[in-house]
Chain A
């Protein structure tokens, strides 16, 4: 009965390919996020959606495009993958937002470990 689920869990792909990561939450939350965690465990927000509306869009290459078909889903599509994109990508959700910021408690998925070779 997973709260925030991401697929795939592992993704190995070649440079230049296009790939997508899917995220779904069954908590009834209205805000979803994508985070990138690098090899040093630094967790950095990429995007945030509230009720399908983009509210946070950090300085991320435009090769990364989030899509939210409904408030329970937030997918991440990455074009022309580069070696530096290798990281663990976490989807998260929370209920409510304060001026665009995450409510205090966010629930994270298990992560998608992306390796670009």
Chain B
């Protein structure tokens, strides 16, 4: 079993939809949870990070962490075609950061 599991998609949604992206993990030592966005042929860029359980909101993006279920989510409200990218979750405990495999999102105008 991989430490971090993420559905690779692709996920296609119409413009304006609410998008839900998720990851599950198995390592209880993970404390920091991050979401990166990667456009095609570009490097990943950090969108949001949260520490431990809880919610964090930044504009149209909301990150949720449920440590009891070992489940994290990223919600995108009012999705735009410019949100089309691969979204990678990442987690850190005491050692290195572990990335999920990424979910490819396409927002259709």
Are A45 and B45 in contact, with the CB atoms below 8 A? no
Known: A41-B101, A104-B49, A111-B41. A48 touches B96 (CB 8 A): yes
Contact A101–B44 (Cβ < 8 Å)? no
Binding site for B on A (CB under 8 A): 4, 40-45, 48, 56, 58, 90, 92, 98-102, 104-111, 113
Interface residues of B (CB under 8 A from A): 8, 32, 34, 38, 41-46, 49, 86, 88, 92-97, 99, 101-102, 104
Which of the residues A90, A101, A104, A107 comes within 8 Å of B96, measured between beta carbons?
Answer: A101
Q: Is A40 within 8 A of B8, CB to CB?
A: yes
Decide if B92 touches A104 in the complex (CB within 8 Å): yes
Supposing A41-B88, A41-B101, A104-B32 touch, asked if A110 and B93 sit within 8 A by C-beta, the answer is no
**B97 contact from A99, A101, A110, Cβ within 8 A:** A101
The 3 A-B pairs with the shortest beta carbon distances in the complex, nearest first, are A108-B43, A43-B99, A41-B102
Beyond A101-B97, A111-B43, list 13 extra A-B contacts (CB 8 Å). A41-B101, A42-B101, A42-B102, A43-B99, A45-B97, A100-B95, A101-B92, A101-B93, A101-B94, A105-B49, A107-B45, A108-B44, A109-B43
9 contacts across the A-B interface (CB closer than 8 A): A41-B88, A90-B44, A100-B96, A101-B92, A101-B94, A104-B46, A104-B92, A106-B46, A110-B43
User: A106 contacts which chain B residues (CB < 8 A)?
Assistant: 46, 97
Chain A residues contacting B86 (CB-CB under 8 Å) are 41
Q: How far is the CB of B11 from chain A (nearest CB, A)?
A: 14
* Partner pick for B95 among A101, A104, A107, A108, CB 8 A cutoff: A101
What's the nearest-Cβ distance from chain B to residue A33, in Å? 9
From A41, A45, A92, give the contact of B8 (CB < 8 A). Answer: A41
